[in-house]
Amino acid sequence: MSNDIKRAPVAVILATGTGAHFGAAADKSPACLRSVGGSVILERTLRNCLSCGISQFVLVLGHRAEEIRQFVDKTFRGIRVTYVTNTRYDNSGSAQALLLARQATGMSEFVKFDASVVFEVRILRRLLDSNDTNVLCMNSTTPSVDNMVRVITDDPAPDIEADRAITPERAFAAAIGIEKIGAKTGARLFAELAQIMDDPLRSNDPDTVAYARLSAAGTPFHALDIAGLNWVRIDTKADFDAANAMFGSPVTTVSRGQERAIDAAAHKHTESL
């Protein structure tokens, strides 16, 4: 019998954005350091990772990088964090940001997070529990024009095609900005990202373009539908208000056993109504 224990993936968090949609408010603090429901957005991501056994982090920073670094170092003493700075954060997209994590990630499996996404821990648990290698979290109930990923559902290992021109009617689901990438796929992904960044006209491309290219070349990707679970991508003031309404209390580090107990209690309460 094998005694091998599956190693937790590395968390790669892209926190380079300026939060320009917030206007003057973005100048007061980095977008990921704004508070939602009593907890800083970035803190929510880090604590969710710790709850799921992830303890190694790569943070790609840009706008007000030093403030973010100081917050993490002060709030999370003792965790393993590698900081990478994207000096082109104001004129590049998530493809460039993710590419910069290449050396720090090495040959490890990793989970990529957009720092603007606020999500409940059950989403990450489902992603990590998935036996599939390359998985994109998607919400089949809320297709988005801005960050669209189309899934061809008649294939047992559906291809994923990223295209910002795809309409919600044609989309199977919306990518939420959380993906699990296998160790073997990682090397191909970073090579694809580097090729994209060699073209100066594509400097603002999202990382999903690289997923689409790999899929077209035969690398299987899978969709994890997280419909019914709570998450918000914060791009605007309206998104920020929605996140505060959805996540009304501070985040805590919750073990899997504690989560099961909470779910069981909630189910019992529902049955008694």
Supply the CATH number for residue 34's domain: 3.90.550.10
Q: What is the mean pLDDT of residues 223-228?
A: 89
Q: Could you report the per-residue pLDDT of 40-54, keeping only the tens digit for each?
A: 999 999 999 999 999
Q: Is residue 14 part of a domain?
A: yes
Instruction: Spell out the residues 6+ positions from residue 81 whose beta carbon is closer than 8 angstroms to its own.
Output: 57, 58, 59, 72, 73
Of 157, 160, 142, 149, the C-alpha closest to 226 is 142
For residue 242, what pLDDT band results from cuts at 50, 70 and 90? very high
**pLDDT for res 62:** 93
In this prediction, residue 174 has a pLDDT band, given cuts at 50, 70 and 90, of low
Retrieve residue 72's tokens. 């993490």
Alpha helices in 83-120 (DSSP H): 94-99, 102-105
The range of the structural domain enclosing residue 99 comes to: 10-272
Domain assignment present for 2: no
Q: What is the mean pLDDT of residues 146-150?
A: 44
Instruction: Give the E-state strand segments of the chain in sequence order.
Output: 10-15, 35-36, 39-40, 56-61, 80-85, 110-114, 117-119, 135-139, 148-151, 160-162, 173-181, 222-225, 231-233
The reported pTM is 0.83
Any domain includes 58: yes
Percent of the chain residues past pLDDT 70, beyond the cut: 74
Q: Which residues contact 149 (CB under 8 A, 6 or more apart)?
A: 136, 138, 160, 161, 162, 171, 173, 174, 175, 208, 211, 223
**Tens-digit pLDDT profile for residues 255-267:** 565 555 555 545 5
Domain count, the chain: 1
Residue 254 in any domain: the answer is yes
Q: What is the pLDDT at residue 29?
A: 75
Residue with tokens 């990223």: 162
107 torsion bin: left (phi>0), alpha (psi -120 to 50), beta (else): alpha
Q: Is residue 4 assigned to a domain?
A: no
* Rg of the Cα atoms in the chain: 18
**Is 3 domain-assigned?**
no
Position 164 pLDDT exceeds 90: no
Top pLDDT among 105 and 170 is at: 105
Residue 172 has pLDDT above 90, yes or no: no
Which tens digit of pLDDT belongs to each residue from 61-85? 999 999 999 999 999 988 999 999 9
Q: Is residue 163 predicted with pLDDT exceeding 50? A: no
| pLDDT-based confidence at residue 154 (cuts at 50, 70, 90) | very low
Q: Locate tokens 């320009």: which residue?
A: 20
Query: What letter represents residue 260's amino acid?
Result: R
Q: Is the pLDDT of residue 190 over 70?
A: yes
Question: Does a structural domain hold residue 193?
Answer: yes
Could you tell me which residues come within 8 angstroms of residue 154 by beta carbon, excluding any fewer than 6 positions away? none
Distance CA 83, CA 15 (A): 11
Spatial contact of 42 and 49, defined as CB atoms under 8 Å apart: no
The pLDDT assigned to 158 comes to 44
118 lies in a domain?
yes
